[in-house]
C-alpha cells in the first residue's frame, strides 16, 4: 500500500486527545507505512462551557465543526465519543468503525459517601446530563441535582470547590484518562442506564473514502457495532438528543442481543422503562421496535410535551 499521512480530527479536551491518540497508536502499529497527524478543532460545545446543552441544541455540538472539516477534506478521519454523535449521519459521511466498547457504566464519585443511598436528604449531586438527572431524581427525589459542565478535571475540581456530595461521570472517560484510582462506585444498569453509545468510540470518514475504510477495518468490533446500532436506532426513532431524557443499553452475547431503554419527563417523575431481545443481526429493528413500544406506553405524550409538538 502507498505511504500516506492520515489526519485525525479531534477536540482539544484531555479525554478527546487520549481517545484520538489511542486510535493513532493502533493505526501506526497496524499500518507501519502510514504517518499520522492530529488536527485539533474547537467545536461549539467547547466554546459554550457553562450553558446547559439542552438549551443550545444538544446532540452534534461536539462534532459539527469536525464533520465540516472532514467533508472539506481538511481531515481524513474524525474520532468521536459515540454518545456525542446524532443518530442520523450527515450526507457524505459514514461510521467506518466502532472499536471494542469500553465500560458503559456511570461512576458515582464522592469523597464522603460510597453510594447514592448514603447521601442524606437535601444532598447535592452534580451532573450536566438530563439523562442522569432524571434517573437520580426518580430514585432520590429528595436530592438537589446541581448543573455541572466542563471536562473531567473541571468537574472534579467543582466537586470539591462547590461542596458537592457527589458527581456522576462516565467510567470509560475515567479509565481512558488513567483516573481509575478515584473514590468511585460503578452504577449498575438498574441504577443508571447509560447514554446511547456510552463507552464506545465512533470513527467517521467521508462516505466515498474506500481507502480509509480499509485502513480502519481492523479496528471495527462487530458486537460493539451491533450493540450501538440497536441503541442508535432507538434514539433515531425518538428524534432524541440532549434535549430529551432517554437512555439505552444493548448487550450482545453470541448471536443474541438484549436491549433495555427508558424515556422520562424532565423531572424524573414519570419514567418509562422496557426491554427486548432478539437476533443480534436484527439490531436496528430491535431498537426501533422498543422505541415504538415505549412511545405507545406513554412516551409519545412525554416527548410531545418536551418537544412542544406531536411526535
List of residues 6+ apart from 25 with CB closer than 8 A: none
Residue 48: its pLDDT value, please?
58
List of residues 6+ apart from 218 with CB closer than 8 A: 30
What does the domain layout of the chain look like in residue ranges?
Answer: 1-101+200-220, 106-187, 221-306
Q: What class does CATH assign to 221-306?
A: alpha beta
Tell me which range, 31-45, 207-221, 235-249, 297-311, is most confidently predicted by mean pLDDT. Answer: 207-221
State the Rg of the chain over Cα: 19
Average pLDDT, the chain: 93
What are the pLDDT digits (tens) for 77-129? 999 999 999 998 999 999 999 999 999 999 999 999 999 999 999 999 999 99
Residue 310: its pLDDT value, please?
81
Is 80 exceeded by the pLDDT of residue 258?
yes
Q: What is the pTM of this model?
A: 0.92
Paired sense of beta strands 166-170 and 124-127, if any: parallel
Residue 311: its pLDDT value, please?
75
φ, ψ (nearest 5 deg) of residue 65? -65, -30
Active-site residue, 84 included:
yes
Residue 60: its pLDDT value, please?
67
How far apart are the C-alpha atoms of 126 and 132, rounded to whole Å? 10
List of residues 6+ apart from 113 with CB closer than 8 A: 119, 165, 166
- 1-101+200-220 and 106-187 have identical folds: yes
Catalytic residue among 84, 165, 209, 265: 84
Higher pLDDT, 291 or 309: 291
Is 50 exceeded by the pLDDT of residue 56?
no
Confidence of residue 49 (pLDDT cuts 50, 70, 90): low
What are the pLDDT digits (tens) for 181-238? 899 999 999 999 999 999 999 999 999 999 999 999 999 999 999 999 999 999 999 9
Q: 106-187: CATH homologous superfamily? A: Periplasmic binding protein-like II (3.40.190.10)
How many Cβ atoms sit within 10 Å of the Cβ of residue 301?
14
Nearest C-alpha neighbor of 249 from the set 287, 294, 279: 287
How far apart are the C-alpha atoms of 242 and 140, rounded to whole Å? 22
Which CATH topology does 1-101+200-220 take? D-Maltodextrin-Binding Protein; domain 2 (3.40.190)
Residue 180: its pLDDT value, please?
86
Confidence of residue 4 (pLDDT cuts 50, 70, 90): confident
What are the pLDDT digits (tens) for 124-181? 999 999 999 999 999 999 999 999 988 899 999 999 999 999 999 999 999 999 998 8
Amino acid at each position: 500500500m502507498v505511504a500516506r499521512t492520515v489526519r485525525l480530527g479531534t477536540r482539544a479536551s484531555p479525554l478527546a486527545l487520549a481517545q484520538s491518540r489511542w486510535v493513532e497508536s493502533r493505526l501506526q502499529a497496524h499500518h507501519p507505512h502510514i504517518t499520522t497527524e492530529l488536527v485539533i478543532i474547537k467545536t461549539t460545545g467547547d466554546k459554550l462551557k457553562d450553558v446547559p446543552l439542552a438549551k443550545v441544541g444538544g446532540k452534534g455540538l461536539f462534532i459539527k465543526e469536525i464533520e465540516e472539516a472532514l467533508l472539506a477534506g481538511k481531515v481524513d478521519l474524525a474520532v468521536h465519543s459515540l454518545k456525542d454523535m446524532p443518530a442520523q449521519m450527515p450526507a457524505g459521511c459514514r461510521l467506518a468503525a466502532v472499536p471494542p466498547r469500553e465500560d458503559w457504566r456511570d461512576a458515582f464519585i464522592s469523597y464522603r459517601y460510597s453510594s447514592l443511598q448514603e447521601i442524606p436528604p437535601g444532598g447535592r449531586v452534580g451532573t450536566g446530563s438530563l439523562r442522569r438527572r432524571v434517573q437520580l431524581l426518580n430514585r432520590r427525589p429528595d436530592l438537589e441535582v446541581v448543573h455541572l459542565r466542563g471536562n473531567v478535571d473541571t468537574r472534579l475540581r467543582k466537586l470539591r470547590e462547590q461542596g458537592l456530595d457527589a458527581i456522576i461521570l462516565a467510567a470509560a472517560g475515567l479509565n481512558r484518562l488513567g483516573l481509575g484510582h478515584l473514590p468511585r462506585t460503578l452504577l449498575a444498569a438498574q441504577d443508571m442506564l447509560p447514554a446511547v453509545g456510552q463507552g464506545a468510540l465512533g470513527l467517521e470518514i467521508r462516505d466515498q473514502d474506500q481507502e480509509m475504510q480499509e485502513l480502519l477495518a481492523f479496528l471495527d468490533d462487530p458486537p460493539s457495532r451491533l450493540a450501538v446500532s440497536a441503541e442508535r436506532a432507538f434514539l433515531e426513532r425518538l428524534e432524541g438528543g440532549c434535549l430529551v431524557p432517554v437512555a439505552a443499553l444493548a448487550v450482545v452475547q453470541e448471536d443474541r442481543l438484549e436491549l433495555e431503554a427508558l424515556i422520562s419527563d424532565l423531572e424524573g417523575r414519570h419514567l418509562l422503562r422496557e426491554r427486548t431481545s432478539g437476533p443480534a443481526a436484527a439490531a436496528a429493528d430491535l431498537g426501533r421496535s422498543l422505541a415504538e413500544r415505549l412511545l405507545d406506553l406513554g412516551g409519545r405524550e412525554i416527548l410531545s410535551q418536551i418537544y412542544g409538538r406531536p411526535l
